[in-house]
Amino acid sequence: MKLALIGSNGMLARKVRELAPVGSELHGFDLPEFDLTDRAQVLAAMARLKPTVIINCAAFTNVDGCETQEDLATRVNGAGPGYLAEAAQAVGAVLVHISTDYVFAGDQTSPYREDDPTTPLSAYGRSKLAGEKAIVASGLARYFIVRTSWLYGPGGKNFVETMLRLAVERDELRVVADQFGSPTYTGDLAAAIFRLLALSSPAYGIYHLADLGECSWHGFAEAIVELARLHGEPVKALRVLPIATSDYPLPAPRPAYSVFNKEKYLAATGAALPHWRDSLDSYFRERSQLKKGV
């Protein structure tokens, strides 16, 4: 596998690098040297490399910032994936593109399937949906659009690290309790991507990938604080209080319900995804090892 990893300095890309199959030839592309919004540069870089697989982890992920920079978000999250699809078609590569739960409105009460209507509420969601549509419209046949949710892992800003920082600083945390989803560890997502790529007769298209189970942000925060104590973190917070979304207004609206139906992935690979609580514990163990330099 000759792999072009786009957004190679990001949080998910770190795990893609770690879990790439033995013998893979991995080439990283990221800012400032590589600009995903520059079509000519994208096409030329992929033509020189001639990868067999392109994995796109690059994105403008500042959800609230997208509300005031929607043009930039649409270039990065919308046009850029279209350029990668064009390049993949030109060199005969498979494209893996990472998308998001934000393409949905979050108004369902049952887990979202891949073919459910996409009605994003935010500029970020609209820009990510534009990227999906650009890939589908490109004519590329061999692609995986992988939607995921509530992603966390080593090497990047995420909810787990934010809660840990606040739990050390404050006696009390106030966390939204009326938004529900499935926290997803980057290691689980990267492993699932390589399982899809390893299929002998893959059914290309859109897949929902997230860890099993669901919780609110408040429930996620409670689990983070509980595990932090168990793993010896200097936790100061004594209480994690539930609040409503209306009590914590932000520029971009969030989906109230972001749980995915993962049956398509399970049927394709036969591989079970871990429960989010088990993966959160694994993440804490990994953090402890990284601190010790293991």
Mean pLDDT of the chain: 96
Residue 190 lies in a domain: yes
Q: 242: cis peptide before it, omega within 30°? A: no
Residue 283 lies in a domain: no
- pLDDT at position 293: 66
Write down the catalytic residue from 83, 124, 257, 283.
Answer: 124
Query: How many whole angstroms separate alpha carbon 93 and alpha carbon 90?
Result: 8
Helix axes 80-91, 39-49, angle to 10 degrees: 30
Q: Which domain holds residue 66?
A: 2-156+183-212+259-274
Residue 294 lies in a domain: no
Encode pLDDT of 231-274 as tens digits. 988 999 999 999 999 999 999 999 999 999 999 999 999 998 99
Encode pLDDT of 75-84 as tens digits. 999 999 999 9
Helix axes 217-230, 159-169, angle to 10 degrees: 60
Q: Is 207 in the active site?
A: no
Residue 174 in 3-state DSSP? strand
Using CB atoms within 10 Å of the CB of residue 213, give its burial: 0 to 12 exposed, 13 to 18 middle, 19+ buried. middle
Residue 248 lies in a domain: no
Instruction: Give the pLDDT mean for 130-150.
Output: 98
Q: Is the pLDDT of residue 155 over 90?
A: no
Residue 165 lies in a domain: no
Query: CATH code at 48?
Result: 3.40.50.720
Confidence of residue 156 (pLDDT cuts 50, 70, 90): confident
- pLDDT at position 47: 98
Query: How many whole angstroms separate alpha carbon 272 and alpha carbon 212?
Result: 9
Encode pLDDT of 86-100 as tens digits. 999 999 999 999 999
- Per the structure, the count of domains in the chain is 1
Decide: 75 and 123 in contact? Cβ < 8 Å: no
- pLDDT at position 289: 81
Confidence of residue 294 (pLDDT cuts 50, 70, 90): low
Q: Is the pLDDT of residue 278 over 90?
A: yes
Residue 218 lies in a domain: no
User: How far is Cα of residue 22 from the mean position of the Cα atoms in its chain?
Assistant: 23
Sequence-ordered strand ranges (E) for the chain: 2-6, 25-29, 53-56, 94-100, 143-148, 151-152, 172-176, 180-181, 184-185, 205-208, 215-216, 239-243
Q: Is the pLDDT of residue 206 over 80?
A: yes
Q: Is the pLDDT of residue 290 over 80?
A: no
Query: How many whole angstroms separate alpha carbon 292 and alpha carbon 8?
Result: 25
Encode pLDDT of 24-46 as tens digits. 999 999 999 999 999 999 999 99
Residue 171 lies in a domain: no
- Exposure string of 32-44, with b = 16+ CB inside 10 Å and e = fewer, is eebbbbebeebbe
Residue 52 lies in a domain: yes
